[in-house]
Structure 1
Amino acid sequence: MRKRIKPPVAFILLGLPILILVIAKSYAMFARTVQLNAAKATIPTVSTAPKNKTATSTEKEEAITSLDPIIDVSGWQLPEEIDYDTLSKNISGAIVRVFGGSGIGIDNNATNAKGVDKSYKKHIKEFQKRDVPVAVYAYVMGASVKEMKEEARILYKESKPYKPTYYWLDVEEKTMEDMNKGVEAFRSELEKQGAKNIGIYIGTYFMEEHSISTDKFDAVWFPTYGTDSGYYEEDPNTSLNYDLHQYTSQGYVDGFAKPLDLNQIASNKDIGSTYKKLFGRKPSKEAQE
């Protein structure tokens, strides 16, 4: 028969495995804690300081690919024939003639006897009232350096109150033997008066024929019409740097029933930055076709 096990011995024999399990479990928990703490130590900390926001690809400004036409107008476009509300919604800018040239001597529908455009104030006020950016121009006709300087002073005096974005010289006629000298006299006097942005409108052939330099101007505006169909047909035939292209004199825009000169940013230039250069701001969403 088996020998009887005494109670203390039985307790020890039964309790020993339980003790071993408790110790093993405690060690496993300790080892797990050490492992977790070690893992936490390897996690990089994240600063809570504010960071400069970087635009994502979807937030980046989209390039401007096209604009409504830029028009140039004078007293020959009578204000009473213009629906300024409609016209303003269909253009991206306006260049308004302020001075029609000295030596006219007679009063006509477009200018007074001194050459000041009769409609320029109305045009500028109506366009600016509708948030259309406005530049100005003078038709250059000085027959001497003295007259060129006087024309520049008239242009600046008449235009200054309206804060135009650009001052343009429209050079189309030979009125002096040395046209380059005369044009420079006009430009430098305009600058002396306080004009900051001065450009020249001139045909490439006329410019070459009379050796007129564009180097000192802040912007250049060339006309090239092709067949003058009312639509863009071709770029100016030149290797010179230019900003604005008058592409037709027979364009039509809702808001005026008669033909208009239509202009666009040079096809080899960035539209947005060049427009801002000429008109002092980005084009409105409405002006982007």
Structure 2
Amino acid sequence: MGGGAGASIHGRFRVATEKLVFAMPETNLGHFPDVGASYFLSRLPGFFGEYAGLTGSRLDGAEMLACGLATHFLSSDKLPLLEQALLKVNTSDPDAISAIISHFSHIPKLKEESPYHKMKIINRCFSRGTIEEIISTLESEALDKKDDWISSTIQSLKKASPTSLKIFLRSIREGRLQGVGSCLVREYRIACHVLRGEFSKDVVEGYRAIFIDRDKNPKWEPSRLELIRDDDVDRYFSKIDDEDWEDLKLPPRLDLPRYAIAKL
């Protein structure tokens, strides 16, 4: 979840099991999905990435494989066998590694209630240009059909930090057009603004409500989406006015095989 996912999701091989739970729940904490989320979530089918990042929805291993967050799925009891097979490999050829993992893998069945089955509704609603439009379109869908998933999705959005929602929607839309390096630099800049708390202290309030007092009743400020102007969001994407602060500096790419195995 969150940063833990970011440490694994950029690997070439991402192995999921039936025990996996994945989520980017930052908007519920007054933060926003970072660690490259605007890159890897924007690459998911349709607007599933917007849905996952804005709502903090929890996905299982089968759903991760279906949407592309995982590259392989295998039963957890096969992990020791996979590890033994990989220890015997004397090559860094990604095709050879992939073939070994695939030998132990299979395609799992998605749950009937999986949000991945709701892709038509997700694309229709989460493709909108603003959070207000996304919620309004979901509410229109709810009028047309009784669907517990739509209702819970609306509730998730309305419980999240309004500022965080607006930040992430803009971030993921920019991420669709950028490489992972640019996404990481931008997200670092936004995160610095969030943690400095100059414009909003939602991240402090979110951690208080979820992890400290655990009342699960954060008091966001601003409290409503309509109170947040576009130029309020712009400030999070600007350079910080501090001579001791500088943008994230990424190291040059090493000429090495870029793969990792994330055992989730």
TM-score normalised by the chain length of structure 2: 0.23
The structure with the largest helix share of the pair is: 2
User: Greater relative contact order (Cα 8 A, min sep 6): structure 1 or 2?
Assistant: 2
The structure with the largest strand share of the pair is: 1
Q: Compare CA radii of gyration and give the structure with the larger one.
A: 1
